[in-house]
Chain A
Amino acid sequence: MIDMSGKIRIRVRLGDYYKTVSEVVRSLEIATVCEDALCPNIHDCWSSKTATFMILGDICTRGCRFCYVKKGSPLPPDPYEPYKILEAVKRLGLDYVTITSVDRDDLSDGGASQYVKTIRLLKSYDPSIKVEVLIPDFMGREDLLKMIVDASPDVIAHNIETVRRLTPLVRDRRAGYEQSLKVLETVKRFNNNIITKSSILIGFGEEFDEIIEAMKDLRRVGVDILVISQYMRPSSQQIPVVKYYSIEEFKALERIGYELGFSYVISHPLARTSYKAKEAYEAVRRVRE
Chain B
Amino acid sequence: MIREIVVPKDLWPRRGDWRGKIINIYVSEGDKVSSGDQLFEIEIEKAVLVIESEHNGVIKKILVKPGDDVRPGDPVMIIETSDD
CB neighbours of B53 from chain A (8 A): 13
Contacts of A13 in B (CB 8 A): 35-36, 51-54
* Chain B residues positioned under 8 Å from A68 (CB to CB): 15
Judge whether A232 and B47 touch: CB under 8 Å.
yes
- Let me know if B10 is at the binding interface, CB within 8 A: yes
Q: How large is the interface on B (under 10, 10 to 19, 20 to 34, 35 or more residues)?
A: 20 to 34
Q: Which of A12, A36, A235 has the most CB of B within 10 A?
A: A12
Q: Which residue of A lies closest to B13 (CB)?
A: A22
| B contact residues around A92 at 8 Å (CB) | none
Is the C-beta of A261 less than 8 angstroms from some C-beta in chain B? Answer: no
User: Hey, which chain A residues are within 8 Å of B49, CB to CB?
Assistant: 9-10, 12
Interface residues of A in 1-42 (CB under 8 A from B): 3, 7-15, 18-19, 22, 25-26, 31-32, 34-36, 38-40, 42
Say if the beta carbon of A123 comes within 8 Å of chain B: no
Docked pose: A160 CA to B49 CA in angstroms? 29
Which A residues are in CB contact (< 8 Å) with B14? 25-26, 31-32, 35-36, 58
How far, in Å, is B7 (CB) from chain A's closest CB?
Answer: 10
How many A residues face the partner with a CB closer than 8 A?
A: 32
Contacts of A31 in B (CB 8 A): 14
Task: Look across to chain B and name the residue whose beta carbon is closest to the beta carbon of A30.
Answer: B14
- Are B50 and A12 in contact (CB-based, < 8 A)? yes
Q: Which residue of A lies closest to B15 (CB)?
A: A35
The complex places the Cα of A100 from the Cα of B41 at a distance, in Å, of 31
Q: Is A234 an interface residue (CB 8 A)?
A: yes
User: Which B residues touch A19, using CB under 8 A?
Assistant: 10
Check B63 for interface membership: any CB of A closer than 8 A. Answer: no
Report yes or no: A26 in contact with B13, Cβ–Cβ below 8 A. yes
Taking CB atoms, residues of chain B closer than 8 Å to A15 are: 54
Inter-chain contact A34/B8, CB cutoff 8 Å: no
Residues of A within 8 A of B48 (CB): 3, 7-10
CA distance A26 to B47 in the complex (A): 24
Contact partners of A38 in chain B: CB under 8 A = 12, 15, 18, 46
Whether the Cβ atoms of A14 and B54 lie closer than 8 Å is yes
A-B contact pairs, 10 of them (CB 8 A): A9-B47, A11-B38, A11-B50, A13-B54, A14-B11, A36-B14, A234-B45, A234-B46, A235-B45, A236-B45
Please report B residues at the A interface, Cβ cutoff 8 Å: 8, 10-15, 18, 35-36, 38, 41, 43, 45-54
Task: List the interface of chain A (C-beta within 8 A of B).
Answer: 3, 7-15, 18-19, 22, 25-26, 31-32, 34-36, 38-40, 42-43, 58, 68, 232-236
New A-B pairs, 9, CB < 8 Å, besides A10-B48, A12-B8, A12-B52: A9-B41, A10-B47, A11-B38, A12-B50, A13-B52, A26-B14, A43-B11, A232-B47, A234-B45
